[in-house]
Amino acid sequence: MKYIKKIYEFCKKYDLKLDILYNKLKKKHNRGLDILYEKINGGFFGLIAALILIISIAVAYVLYISVDPNFSIFSHWISDLGGGPNRSDFVFNSGMITVSFVMLFFQISLNRYLQKRNKRAIKTIKLAYISGIISSIGFFFVGVFPLSRFQILHGIAADLIFFGGLFCCIFIGISEIKTPNVPRLHVIMVFIAASFFGLYILVAVGALFIPIITEGTVKFFEWVTLFVGLSWIFEYGFYTIMLSYSIVISRRGIYLKKKKEIERNKKKLFSNNAK
C-alpha cells in the first residue's frame, strides 16, 4: 500500500507540473497571437486567402486553355487544373497549399473574434473553428494530392473542404444569430454560403442515384459553390476589418486607419485645445 501511495503522489505531482507547463505555453501562445492580430487584423488573412485562390485559379486556367481551349466549368472539375498542361498544375497546386496556411490564420482570428463577441455560444463557435480548420487542411491535401495522380486521396481532401465549409458556415451563422449588434445582411451571407455548400453536396450525391443529374451539372455546381464561398470570405474579411478600421479621405489620398488611433488623436486634440 505504501508503494501505491508513493506512486499516486508522484503521478499527482507530475500531472501538476504538466498542467503548469501547459498553462505557461498557452499564455505564451495567446500573447503571440495577440501581438500578431494587433498588428495585422485577422480579416486581412481572409482577403489574402480569397485573392490567392482567385489568382492561382485564374492563372492556372489561362495556362491550361493556351494548350487546351476546350476547358470549361461544365466539362472540367476545378481540380483538373491541378493536373493540367503548361505548368498550370504547379500554379494551382502551390496556390492550394499556400492558401491552406493563410486560411488557418483567418480561422484562428475568426474564432477569437466570435468568442469575444458572444461568450454564451462558445461551444458553437468551437465547432465552427474545428470545421474551418478541417476545411483548411482539405486545401492543403488537394494541392499535395492532385486529382490526376491520386484520385481517392484527392477526393477525400476535396470532401474535407466542402463538408468543413458547410458546417463552418452553419455554426458561424448560428452563433451570430445569438450575437447582438450583428447586421442581418451579414448573417444572411453566411447562410447563403452554407446553403450552396449543402446544395453542391446534395447534387454530387444525387448524381450517383438520379440519372437526370449529369456530371456536367455537378461540375458546374462545384464552380458556383467555390465562388459563393469566396464571396463570403471576402465579405467576412472586409466586415471584420471595418470593425477596427475607418476609411480616411484626406489630401494624402484614401486609406485605412485604426479606430483606436483616430480616437487617441481626437483626445490629444481635445486636451490641447482645452489648454
Chain segment 155-202, per-residue pLDDT in tens:
999 999 999 999 999 998 888 887 777 778 878 888 999 999 999 999
Residues 32 and 103 both lie in one domain: no
Residues 198 and 101 both lie in one domain: yes
Q: Which residue has the cell 477526393?
A: 155
pLDDT confidence of residue 85: 85
End-to-end CA distance of the chain: 78
Residues 50 and 139 both lie in one domain: yes
SS3 256: strand
In the chain the beta strands, taken as DSSP E runs, fall at 245-250, 253-258
Q: How many domains does the chain have?
A: 2
Residues 212 and 123 both lie in one domain: yes
Whether pLDDT at 116 is above 90: no
CB atoms within 10 A of CB 105: 20
Which is more confidently placed, 148 or 62? 62
Residues 81 and 129 both lie in one domain: yes
Average pLDDT for 116-124 = 79
Average pLDDT for 37-57 = 84
Whether pLDDT at 93 is above 80: yes
Average pLDDT for 245-272 = 52
pLDDT confidence of residue 59: 94
Residues 138 and 264 both lie in one domain: yes
pLDDT confidence of residue 148: 83
pLDDT confidence of residue 117: 75
Residues 174 and 256 both lie in one domain: yes
Average pLDDT for 130-140 = 92
Whether pLDDT at 100 is above 80: yes
Q: Which of 14-28, 163-177, 221-235 has the lowest mean pLDDT?
A: 14-28
Q: Which of 83-92, 153-162, 224-233, 235-244 has the lowest mean pLDDT?
A: 235-244
Q: Give the residue among 175, 169, 36 at the shortest CA–CA distance from 116.
A: 175
CA atoms within 13 A on the CB side of 165: 30
H or E element at residue 1:
none
Which is more confidently placed, 270 or 149? 149
Q: What is the mean pLDDT of the chain?
A: 79
Alpha carbon dihedral 61, 67, 68, 72, in 10-degree steps, equals 10
Residues 25 and 150 both lie in one domain: no
Residues 63 and 33 both lie in one domain: no
Average pLDDT for 74-91 = 88
pLDDT confidence of residue 263: 52
Angle of helix 122-144 relative to helix 88-117, nearest 10 degrees, comes to 170
pLDDT confidence of residue 249: 53
What is the pLDDT confidence band of residue 62, given thresholds at 50, 70 and 90?
A: very high
Range of the domain at 56: 46-274
Answer for the pair 138, 158: CB distance below 8 angstroms, yes or no: yes
Residues 214 and 133 both lie in one domain: yes
Residues 59 and 114 both lie in one domain: yes
Which is more confidently placed, 253 or 166? 166
Residues 3 and 73 both lie in one domain: no
Whether pLDDT at 12 is above 60: no
Whether pLDDT at 127 is above 80: yes
